[in-house]
Structure 1
Amino acid sequence: MTYTEIEITAELVRDLLHDQHPDLADRPVRLGARGWDNQLWRLGDDLAVRLPWATHSADALLRKEHTWLPVLAPRLPLPVPVPQRLGEPSERFPRPWIVTTWVPGSPADRTPATAAEAAGVLASFLTDLHQPAPDHAPVGNFGRGGPLADRAGQFAERLASAVELGLVHDPDAVRAVWEDAATAPAWTGPALWLHGDLHPANVLTADGTFCGVIDFGDLCAGDPACDLGACWVLLPEGSVDRFHRAYRPAPDAATLRRARGWAVLQALSCILIGEAGVHGRPGGKRTWGPPAHAALRRLVATAGH
């Protein structure tokens, strides 16, 4: 499946609902967003339909959300898109699709958090999410939640690409942050539930703080440092220490070192996607670049602290 193999329209969405969930088919349908893996269509005021359109992996990710988010959502302090219905592949659309609750807010890549209390809101969300996961919880895609050292090849590739494109001007400083993180002691606690992909387009804001978290396609279990690295990308200047003080249990020094490595990986990826449109995606997501550059500056400036 590529971007052009099937055209997703409001008429198609209505037809799919008529076929499989007719009680929802009379609601107004309008485009909400074209995301990384899925298109999101508003369904009335309180629901949304997500249909995979860009990657083969999106099918399994939707089914994973349908299985696990209803279990996790009740304990989370921020709204998340709770699955309501599952659509199965058909002649009209040969892939699964999902109906979820609609989460209002503006993506943080377009409207960044500016309020000091955003640090506590993010810490509260991750404290409640990061609970021990069952043995049959999903494994992270591309090593998310696993040993950071296993991502050394990906780090080297991303840094080299960013340097070649002129997007990173002090690679030695960035590499030093990574090497310190990759040599930190490994996580020895239980595998905890993780969002797995807390980049700014997946976190929503209102009135200067966070008001929702979306896209749990990379939901998995593992090392909490994978999620904790997001604080450098998401929070306003001067808020990272406040976040660490509010998160429970307080992260130890090794976890913070690993989190810095995850933050470097995420920042490099967002810079490449935002400014170069790499990884086979059509065009860049320009709003992803500024928070990622800011995160790299913060990480380099506080190296060793």
Structure 2
Amino acid sequence: MPAIDTTLVRRLVRAQFPRWASLPVVPLPSGGTVNAVFRLGDDLTVRLPLTASGAGDVAKEAQVLASLGCLPVAVPAVAGLGEPAQGYPWPWSVHRWLDGEPAVEGRPFAPEALAEFVLAVRSAKADAPPAYRGGPLTLLDRATRDAVEELRRTDEPFDASAALDVWTEALDAPTGPEGWVHGDLMPSNLLVHNGRLTAVLDWATAGIGDPACDLIPAWNLLTAATRPAFRDAVGADDAAWARSRGRALSMAVIQLPYYRGTNPVISANARYVLTQLGCRSARRASTGPRGSSGRAPNTSR
């Protein structure tokens, strides 16, 4: 496969969408691991999947967005669907540009707008497949406990005992009715303007699942000062709140050992989550072998 760069994007656009051939192509920085994203002129973006597993997201995202209908914030609008060509092996897409800056953990953010969005998605009535991460927490138990042990052996300031307490509480929490969830409300998928949510990206993870999936921004984005307003606005009971803590913890402990040397955006967010959950200890954990499985965890897009 050729390098995914501006030269490839120009060739693909020129061959398949000649009306946009004269537009400048600029790579966009991203902490994502599934798509390379480029700005095309002022009004468009090009998204090229980085892996075969991500290639199926192109069609799924379009289907999901068509099912959901109107939402209180902007969502991606497909302007064109590209085909494999120029040595690039997978489908790709062109979307309309969405204004806003990616959210950053710990910065000022209006929780009420986020809650309004979560509730709007949850109220959708259309049929949908299972959400990418929406299944029972028990399915994540072995991977989460293994990741806690792996992280404990690193030089990260990590409180494994506190992490396991969070995880056990989440596993013990009763489950409730499933519903529509976005499933990947990482800060990089949330666009903001003046601290207010304006758009939500990356819908390939959406579907039917545990509503606690979409409460994770309480821990990966919000602060202790704004978290209660978000919880009140979404009406999260104790069980859903505990499950959201567990889901946030699971993602963070799996992501951090794997990405801390390669993806500073994901690593920083994982550390923020662990801090918010009270799992970052004041002193460093015992140092030991850092080893990695060498397999990308199934947690970040």
Tell me if 1:15 matches 2:11: yes
Question: Aligned runs of 1:1-305 on 2, under 5 Å?
Answer: 5-34=1-30, 35-53=32-50, 55-72=51-68, 74-109=69-104, 112-115=106-109, 118-135=110-127, 137-141=128-132, 144-187=133-176, 189=177, 191-247=178-234, 250-276=235-261, 283=262, 285-300=263-278
Give the Å deviation of 1:185.
1.1
Compute the displacement of 1:41 (Å). Answer: 1.1
Q: Is the 8 A contact 1:177 1:300 kept in 2?
A: no
How far apart are the structure 2 equivalents of 1:199 and 1:48?
Answer: 20
CA contact (8 A) 1:203 1:214 kept: yes
AA paired with 1:252? D
Deviation of 1:133 (Å): 4.9
CA distance 1:272–1:206, change in 2 (3 Å): farther
In percent, how many aligned pairs have the same letter?
35
Pick which of 196-205 and 266-275 moved more.
266-275
What's 2:282 paired with?
A: none
Does structure 1 retain, via aligned residues, the 8 Å contact 2:12–2:86? no
Q: Name the structure, 1 or 2, with higher relative contact order (CA <8 Å, separation 6+).
A: 2
Structure 1 CA distance for aligned equivalents of residues 7 and 276 of structure 2: 46
Tell me the CA shift for residue 7 of structure 1: 1.1
RMSD: 2.2
Taking the aligned partners of 1:297 and 1:7, their CA distance within structure 2 comes to 37
1:44–1:7 distance in 2 versus 1, CA, 3 Å: same
Aligned AA for 1:259?
S
Give the C-alpha shift of residue 122 in structure 1: 1.1
Q: Is the 8 A contact 1:140 1:220 kept in 2?
A: yes
2:292 corresponding residue in structure 1: none
Seen in structure 2, the aligned counterparts of structure 1 residues 104 and 132 have a Cα distance that, compared at 3 Å, is closer
- Quote the Cα distance in structure 2 between the aligned partners of 1:112 and 1:170: 21
Aligned partners of 1:260 and 1:173: how far apart in 2? 12
The answer to whether the Cα contact below 8 Å between 2:8 and 2:86 also exists between their aligned partners in 1 is no
Q: Distance in 1 between matches of 2:124 and 2:197?
A: 24
Structure 1 residues without counterparts, runs of 5 or longer: 277-282
Q: Give 3-state SS (helix, strand or coil) of 1:42's partner.
A: strand
Q: Deviations over 1:33-87 (max 9, x none)?
A: 353111111111121010112x221101122112222443x52222222222211
Q: Say which SS state the counterpart of residue 95 (structure 1) adopts.
A: coil
Q: Distance in 2 between matches of 1:236 and 1:254?
A: 20
Q: Per the alignment, in what secondary structure is the counterpart of residue 75 of structure 1? A: coil
> Residue 33 of structure 1: SS of its match in structure 2?
coil
Q: Distance in 1 between matches of 2:162 and 2:179?
A: 31
- The answer to which of 44-53 and 61-70 deviates more is 61-70
Question: Which amino acid letter does the alignment assign opposite residue 19 of structure 1?
Answer: A
8 Å contact kept, 1:178–1:264: yes
> CA shift at 1:299, angstroms?
2.4
How far residue 93 of structure 1 moved from its aligned partner, in angstroms, is: 2.0
Number of residues of Structure 1 aligned to a counterpart in Structure 2: 278
- Partner of 2:267: helix, strand, or coil? helix
Q: Secondary structure at the match of 2:277?
A: helix
Q: Distance in 1 between matches of 2:157 and 2:82?
A: 43
CA displacement at 1:91 relative to structure 2? 4.7
- Post-superposition Cα deviations, 1:256-277, rounded to whole Å, max 9, x if no partner, equal 221111111122234335524x
